[in-house]
């Protein structure tokens, strides 16, 4: 979409949505935001959080990055956008849910298995960022091997979601709230082609249709 097309699309939003939802927008300004969910997902343009959850302003606090990675908690690390967003959502906004949403055809997960020249100055930060998922890459290779690339990429995408949930629990604020039953963490796997959604069931240790999650209220609030 060109910038011109975006502006025209915005004008449509302004003349329709912003008028219809003016009460909601006024409330969000006067009373502030109180989202119940931190939604961590990939920067991929094909994953649109508000679109796929049919939500709007004030509903989701969103942290996006390449590969929906969660850097493990490290009090000595440099300032980083994703850990800051996580801490703010949990400790300032008091969200009740965290969703880590990975997806099919994830370029970040695929690129973990590609040889990207380390000296490519134009990809300096991408190369560093992808190292957060080195362990995911190794687990996927150990699990399904590399004979079937499609199977390897799918396994990587799913193991990546599980790994990021574990990384979330390294944050003291998250671990405490989860143990107290005041915060629920769930992993989602979104299928780009048909919009299907699966969640990670930690008891069965596999991904199941999202509808099954509703039968297990302990998995969400
Ligand atoms: Zn992705």
pLDDT in tens, the chain (221 residues): 999 999 999 999 999 888 888 899 999 999 999 999 999 999 999 999 999 999 999 999 999 999 999 999 999 998 899 999 999 999 999 999 999 999 999 999 999 999 888 889 999 999 999 999 999 999 999 999 999 999 999 999 999 999 999 999 999 999 999 999 999 999 999 999 999 999 999 999 999 999 999 987 655 55
Domain interval for residue 20: 1-31
Cα 209 to Cα 221: distance, rounded to the nearest angstrom: 18
In this structure, are residues 99 and 40 in contact, taking their beta carbons and an 8 Å threshold?
yes
CA 127 to centroid of ligand 1, rounded, Å? 15
Strand partners, 100: 40, 187
CA of 183 to the centre of ligand 1 (A): 25
Q: Are residues 24 and 110 in the same domain?
A: no
Cα–ligand 1 centroid distance for 66 (angstroms): 6
The SS3 assignment for 79 reads coil
Q: How many domains does the chain have?
A: 2
Q: Is residue 169 part of a domain?
A: yes
Asked whether the beta carbons of 49 and 38 are under 8 A apart, the reply is no
Cα of 102 vs centre of ligand 1, distance in Å, is 7
Separation of CA 128 and ligand 1 centre (Å):
16
Q: 188 with 102: CB under 8 angstroms?
A: yes
Cα 202 to averaged position of ligand 1 atoms, centre (Å): 22
Q: Is residue 217 part of a domain?
A: no
CA gap 157, 159 in Å, rounded:
6
183 shares a domain with 77:
yes
| Structure-token match 């006067």, residue found | 30
122 and 53 within one domain: yes
């Amino acid at each position: 979409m060109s910038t011109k097309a975006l502006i025209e699309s915005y004008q449509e939003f302004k003349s329709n949505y912003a008028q219809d939802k003016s009460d909601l927008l006024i409330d969000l300004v006067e009373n502030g935001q109180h989202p119940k969910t931190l939604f961590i997902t990939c920067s991929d343009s094909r994953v649109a959080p508000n679109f796929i959850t049919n939500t709007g302003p004030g509903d989701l606090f969103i942290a996006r990055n390449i590969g929906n990675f969660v850097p493990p908690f490290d009090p000595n690390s440099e300032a980083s956008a994703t850990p800051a967003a996580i801490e703010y959502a949990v400790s300032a906004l008091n969200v009740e849910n965290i969703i880590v949403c990975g997806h099919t055809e994830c370029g970040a997960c695929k690129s973990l298995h590609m040889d990207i020249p380390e000296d490519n100055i134009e990809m300096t930060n991408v190369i560093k960022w992808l190292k957060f998922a080195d362990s995911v890459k190794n687990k996927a290779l150990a699990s399904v091997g590399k004979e079937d690339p499609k199977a390897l990429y799918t396994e990587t995408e799913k193991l990546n979601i599980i790994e990021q949930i574990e990384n979330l629990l390294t944050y003291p604020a998250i671990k405490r709230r989860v143990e107290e039953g005041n915060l629920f963490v769930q992993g989602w796997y979104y299928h780009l082609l048909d919009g299907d959604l699966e969640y990670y069931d930690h008891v069965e240790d596999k991904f199941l249709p999202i509808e099954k999650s509703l039968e297990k209220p302990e998995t969400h609030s």
